[in-house]
Structure 1
């Protein structure tokens, strides 16, 4: 009986040591991956990586992680000759295959959300145009047009849609002065625009876009998503 108790104590102690070692290994692995995350054709500000599942060490031994949650902030890339910034992107990556240590990691599938702030959207709109939240899933676009030498400022409520899964389209629902010859076209030249969104990890695609008070919220999904390397 005494021997059994001793054995149980040993098992508990060893189990505790294994858990501690496993968690320490996760911490160092997360730090290593954070430093290796790359996005082709873009620069990134910072990354935060959380490796899920237990035990971690047996996952590493098999060369595959069950789930890795990634948050990337400050993704910057070109959009039609203009620099576009994705404020942040969160993604849950499943069945992440490791190769060459932590230098390469590819997820079988992924889902997530990317957010573009209205300040950043304003930066890639037409010159002199400001974009903000308009309420009820719309954006408010304000621009100034020149009418016979006189500046005329107009604000419109616009619908935001995705085109071909990679381009944001902003289109005014109604333009003040519709029906006045030439005025609608001048206003729309300022307020309506399309911008391609790049800068996402390879394999991720834009699926749905929704204006919110915090910015344009974009749902992303993908397969064979490259996290690093």
Structure 2
């Protein structure tokens, strides 16, 4: 029983020790709950880190299998709590960043400084992540990459050709010999995606400073423009990505691609 002593009006007054003891117990419980919660969050983040390293290793194997060179992939697994996704074997979103991607087309190197891949609704069992064996399959995969203009110009194989971006269109500049005069031709081209996923170029505005005022000179200039209005094949992209859209940007030709039901790792075993 708590100690008591009389008040000024003669009524007993209880000491404050039991109340203080109750507050201490409550504080202790709160601290324990916070500590356990912190440990759970820490365990969740450790599991994410392990999964990201495992998936990154498997993605690197898949990219190498397709004979595509790149820097080590950076992988980020989204969603919290992560351990719930592990138990379900299904992950909301996995982001994969590939840098310095190098493919080839008919022996010509094609450089993609960046290739960002967004995989959603990814199926991967706990055993697959633990052993590295089995499939990691994404329901949908979206990719966005950038092809350097130097790589694209090399595929066109026109001496001195330079490509860039001007007002949202593909800018074309090249030295051309017309009627014995070397002129600098400049113009713009429409860029679309062909039926087979290649880049389709159509030069629709072209001119040359100092072009002789002769019908033959204009005809030769137009013929040159038609000569580079061709379909340019692109290198095979990882994860079965199919190109859907291309867009000229200051840093290169942006390529947007997608795929469905895609294995994003190399199956082992």
CA contact (8 A) 2:117 2:142 kept: yes
Matched, 1:194 2:237: no
**1:20-39 alpha-carbon deviations (Å, 9 max, x no partner):** 11112212322232232123
Matched, 1:185 2:223: yes
The structure, 1 or 2, with the larger RCO (C-alpha pairs under 8 Å, 6+ apart) is: 1
Aligned with residue 138 of structure 2, among 84, 102, 107:
107
Q: Which residue of 1 aligns with 2:256?
A: 219
Q: Which residue of 2 aligns with 1:145?
A: 176
Pairing 1:13-28 to 2, within 5 Å after superposition: 13-28=35-50
TM-score under structure 1 length normalisation: 0.85
> Structure 1 unaligned runs (5+)?
none
CA shift in 2, pair 1:113/1:68, >3 Å: same
Aligned with residue 78 of structure 2, among 52, 57, 72:
52
Aligned with residue 132 of structure 1, among 163, 186, 200:
163
CA contact (8 A) 1:79 1:195 kept: no
TM-score under structure 2 length normalisation: 0.74
Distance 1:134 1:77 in 2: 22
Matched, 1:35 2:54: no
Aligned with residue 204 of structure 1, among 241, 263, 268:
241
RMSD: 2.6
Choose 81-90 or 45-54, whichever is displaced more.
81-90
CA contact (8 A) 2:192 2:200 kept: yes
SS of alignment partner, residue 206 of structure 2: coil
> Structure 2 unaligned runs (5+)?
1-21
Tell me by how many angstroms 1:211 deviates: 0.8
Greater Cα radius of gyration, structure 1 or 2? 2
**Greater per-residue helix proportion:** 2
Distance 1:75 1:173 in 2: 31
Tell me by how many angstroms 1:52 deviates: 0.4
CA contact (8 A) 1:160 1:210 kept: yes
